[in-house]
Structure 1
């Protein structure tokens, strides 16, 4: 690591540090870690993984319920093709079939690999990797480690990366990718501890920076992650976004009294699908097990969009709790069973004074996952050469609604695919184009420094939370033309406010959130524009003024930069499944919930 040099431009000392690497991985969760592992195993030793937080502290740890793969531990008739069929069905046929197959074909091997690397999977009595039901799965296919699967998986991947001596740098925030619109050349950011600017010159860049669910005010992420960093960085670099109108509202986030200081911080936090997978039942305040009305066959384990809308309807019609939720009850199960299968959930509620073995918990829908993201090819590469996007940052696998248990699966599957592709192509750190430092890097760093300690009219957190409120109110579970257009108008006002904010020093939370606001505004606009353009209801996107699914809307919506900073959109049709997957679709496999009774 050396002081920045001109690299063809007039260097005036405004960049504090330059780092040259072959591959820069932005994001230190499961997707970034698995990519780095693959690169190291392929012999690429000049890799650097960047994390916005401390080592091992990534959103992956919040994925609790499980990871899919057709091992057939309990149901030997399961297969990768049926897994693919379930994924396409849950995605309402808007998924890229090739990407779906890339994930489902790999997953049995990826699960066994994690097992070999020491992941603490829950086991059957015979010592096999145990698997549980998740919503809309035809068979028990979700492998798990209690209800802390993501945490256990990330720990395993971090240990593997450390064993391979993969370099890692923490507490660095990337604020811009270096791109000429044709190729990526690295990134610029700042050290969040020191405030010093850092230029990363790289032969290839991998965005594994998460999704955008936290642009909503009820969400399952922490406020300082999943703000749309990855998609927005790619978009500004010249890549296209796709399908961002599809936001998954998980049926069971915590519904709390937000005036209670003990409970308020938990509002919207995930109550894992594993609770329902292990037999949890949903009741309204009249004591009705209401899913019998909406889905008598799949009950609580129907698709997430179906269950979320059912809960929203119960609340809207006056059968919800004072906190805007319904009850999720597991008290018919033995205490020992709950403690063994759902230890983190049991402990969380126990600490809050609720005993899950005796009491129901209050739940309501919460923004959980963005099915859209950066448009990529079969290797995870964007339309900008040498720029890759994987994990929740990428689009294509999940279609209009994600199958539970597929998010962790996608991270490791595409981590391998992208890693192999990059290893075949990368050749050193590359050279920044002539004049790039002077014309691009240093003006950007100057802008960052000007943002710090800025006096302005609007409070950063007020703008931040108002964006989240706008998205919840105008692009939530139920949408219509008038509401969406109002959301775009309010977003335009917030964009003006963001230009006049009162911002703290570069090492402050205020500065970080001010940068996040820029990312959020970009992605929020695509969500609203896409939801307005898509005049049908499909999966997680429900229009009260266009309630039917239309065959001619089996198309993806793409978003790209236009002249003068404008945004343009267009649509493109979708390919067809392979013969094997089509056969599995034709067989019409379906979960029989009542096996759990």
Structure 2
């Protein structure tokens, strides 16, 4: 008997309604394709809205010396030399046009006295190149892109969960979905599929992501489709997340606070960044500031809630309300603290997945024909540490490229592939996930997040990583007994159970690669291997799913610097100080 579901057909299917997915959909539509967007959350409420501080582009509106080449080198250095240099070059060259495009579409960027798009400093930037809209830049981008999507009549099917990508003979031809409220199932058939489903930072107990997003489920979908993942061990811990109350622990305190002059102090009143990076201080690289904060807390110089203190009160209330309105409101509403009058307590929080699906730098194509990946779920741009402000630039630069590539493939096809057996298997898999069980899924989810925070967190070692793998085995067994029974409240429990399955898989892959990288590089800090080892680990570690369902670890040499970027590398080499940030 055939399973009951409806079928929708489009040229290009976009999975994810954040900045990357919206920009990809616009590009595919403008290339002449029928496009459908499916999103797990309500429209305009994707993870992108949490990106506060700004979007990078070498506009030179504040510092005329800035140039896309310096953006390349800042990104390359920040990534500790394991990023895809070609992808870095594309981002730096094209970001200015994408930012100006957003402005033309009505994006309310802050402006200079002359009416140009304003820019401010972010950590580890040579010049001011982070354009912004207050401290709600991500939300402003989503609103702007959504208006463009609506004007084109591109449908967004919200609160749709993708349980499986549909793949036959190495070709992706759509996705199997269900409605989170009604449970209605839909087969989304498409010539090309763009995966823009976010990262996996919610696997950690303290995370700047919200509940039930960035669970690694997109990475699991890609693995089962036949994709290769890389760099999952390279997870950025933002230096400043909220410390309390518990339900808000890890919630982001934007880097814009430090960009506008915020200062870090320990419980002894010391401005401690003088010990860790006396030249750049609070505007050092994210990995260094996060490690400094962690060290101060770990060595007993933290505050009552396990954090250090960030003070922006010297900026003045009027300037704070203009430059940091969301942060001002966030602390008044959650902690009844006015950041214009007193410091706030902050601590590192899991913030960004720098690894993900291995993709072509130019087209965002994966190793599976017809499947593309873009945004936080895609690897290659950030290396071992992300330059603040690059994530939003990534969404619009590579979102456009992915949409155009997906549309080009669709236009090249005479017929649209489908395979009934694959669709039936996806339906049966979903049926099997609904069951009476003895375990509450949230308990297993909490166990996973505690294990990752305790053993695969800001600092790591071999014993802890092995302990994490053992704990993940136990949690995988517990996950097989979770209770999943849809009711009048909808199909949320089913989604959480599927998220858990994907989370355990993504966590295992991350831990395996963290164990393989026996060095410290950027955000990956090993206490048992404290030094960077370019002789053995100047590679990208990879993982794929074997035929028996086991994860297979591999590696590939880091891609060389393209010839057109070598001159910038040479010039930067002459200017940058010797040490960790020296260009090779």
Q: In structure 2, the residue corresponding to 1:464 is in which secondary structure?
A: helix
The separation in 1 between residues aligned to 2:5 and 2:414, in whole angstroms, is: 19
Q: Cα distance, 1:348 vs. partner?
A: 1.2
Q: Tell me whether 1:62 sits opposite 2:36 in the alignment.
A: no
Q: In structure 2, the residue corresponding to 1:563 is in which secondary structure?
A: coil
Q: Which moved more, 1:346-355 or 1:74-83?
A: 346-355
Q: Cα distance, 1:167 vs. partner?
A: 1.9
Q: Cα distance, 1:374 vs. partner?
A: 0.2
The separation in 1 between residues aligned to 2:545 and 2:249, in whole angstroms, is: 35
Q: In structure 2, the residue corresponding to 1:239 is in which secondary structure?
A: coil
* Cα distance, 1:229–1:588 mapped onto 2, change above 3 Å: farther
The separation in 1 between residues aligned to 2:568 and 2:228, in whole angstroms, is: 28
Q: 322, 328, 332: which one pairs with 1:346?
A: 328
1:461/1:510 contact within 8 Å kept: no
Q: Tell me whether 1:330 sits opposite 2:330 in the alignment.
A: no
Q: In structure 2, the residue corresponding to 1:490 is in which secondary structure?
A: helix
Q: Cα distance, 1:575 vs. partner?
A: 2.2
The separation in 1 between residues aligned to 2:571 and 2:177, in whole angstroms, is: 47
1:135/1:303 contact within 8 Å kept: yes
Q: Tell me whether 1:114 sits opposite 2:102 in the alignment.
A: yes
Q: Cα distance, 1:102 vs. partner?
A: 1.0
* Cα distance, 1:66–1:589 mapped onto 2, change above 3 Å: farther
TM-score normalized by the length of structure 1: 0.93
Q: Tell me whether 1:99 sits opposite 2:81 in the alignment.
A: no
Structure 2 counterpart of 1:413? 397
Q: Tell me whether 1:303 sits opposite 2:288 in the alignment.
A: no
The residue correspondences of 1:114-513 to structure 2 (distance < 5 A) are 114-180=102-168, 182-256=170-244, 263-351=245-333, 352-378=335-361, 379-427=363-411, 430-433=415-418, 436-437=419-420, 439-452=421-434, 454-505=435-486, 507-513=490-496
The residue correspondences of 1:475-554 to structure 2 (distance < 5 A) are 475-505=456-486, 507-552=490-535, 553-554=537-538
Q: In structure 2, the residue corresponding to 1:501 is in which secondary structure?
A: coil
Q: Which moved more, 1:481-490 or 1:575-584?
A: 575-584
Structure 1 counterpart of 2:540? 556
Q: In structure 1, the residue corresponding to 2:548 is in which secondary structure?
A: helix
Structure 2 counterpart of 1:8? none
2:458/2:523 contact within 8 Å kept: yes
Q: Cα distance, 1:145 vs. partner?
A: 0.3
* Cα distance, 1:545–1:297 mapped onto 2, change above 3 Å: same
1:87/1:403 contact within 8 Å kept: yes
Q: In structure 1, the residue corresponding to 2:326 is in which secondary structure?
A: helix
Q: In structure 1, the residue corresponding to 2:72 is in which secondary structure?
A: helix
Q: Which moved more, 1:551-560 or 1:571-580?
A: 571-580
What whole-Å deviation, never above 9, does each CA across 1:337-361 have from its counterpart, x for those lacking one? 1000000001111223101111100
The separation in 2 between residues aligned to 1:388 and 1:443, in whole angstroms, is: 23
The separation in 2 between residues aligned to 1:71 and 1:51, in whole angstroms, is: 32
Q: Cα distance, 1:440 vs. partner?
A: 2.4
Q: Gaps (5+ residues) in structure 1?
A: 1-11, 257-262, 591-597
The separation in 2 between residues aligned to 1:277 and 1:430, in whole angstroms, is: 52
What whole-Å deviation, never above 9, does each CA across 1:190-241 have from its counterpart, x for those lacking one? 0112101111111000000111100111101112110112211111100100
Structure 2 counterpart of 1:6? none
Q: Cα distance, 1:509 vs. partner?
A: 2.6
Moved over 4 A (4+): none
Structure 1 counterpart of 2:32? 43
Structure 2 counterpart of 1:23? 12
The separation in 2 between residues aligned to 1:570 and 1:264, in whole angstroms, is: 38
The separation in 1 between residues aligned to 2:326 and 2:169, in whole angstroms, is: 45
Q: Cα distance, 1:429 vs. partner?
A: 9.0
The separation in 1 between residues aligned to 2:502 and 2:575, in whole angstroms, is: 41
Q: In structure 1, the residue corresponding to 2:313 is in which secondary structure?
A: coil
Equivalenced residues, count? 568
Q: In structure 1, the residue corresponding to 2:423 is in which secondary structure?
A: helix
Q: Cα distance, 1:43 vs. partner?
A: 1.7
Q: Which moved more, 1:161-170 or 1:75-84?
A: 161-170
The separation in 1 between residues aligned to 2:294 and 2:485, in whole angstroms, is: 39
Structure 1 counterpart of 2:580? none
Q: In structure 2, the residue corresponding to 1:458 is in which secondary structure?
A: coil
The separation in 2 between residues aligned to 1:524 and 1:472, in whole angstroms, is: 11
Q: Cα distance, 1:406 vs. partner?
A: 0.3
The separation in 2 between residues aligned to 1:376 and 1:78, in whole angstroms, is: 29
Q: In structure 2, the residue corresponding to 1:564 is in which secondary structure?
A: coil
Q: Which moved more, 1:172-181 or 1:578-587?
A: 578-587
Q: Cα distance, 1:451 vs. partner?
A: 2.2
Computed over aligned residues only, the root mean square deviation of the Cα atoms, in angstroms, reads 1.3
1:203/1:429 contact within 8 Å kept: no
Q: Which moved more, 1:509-518 or 1:339-348?
A: 509-518
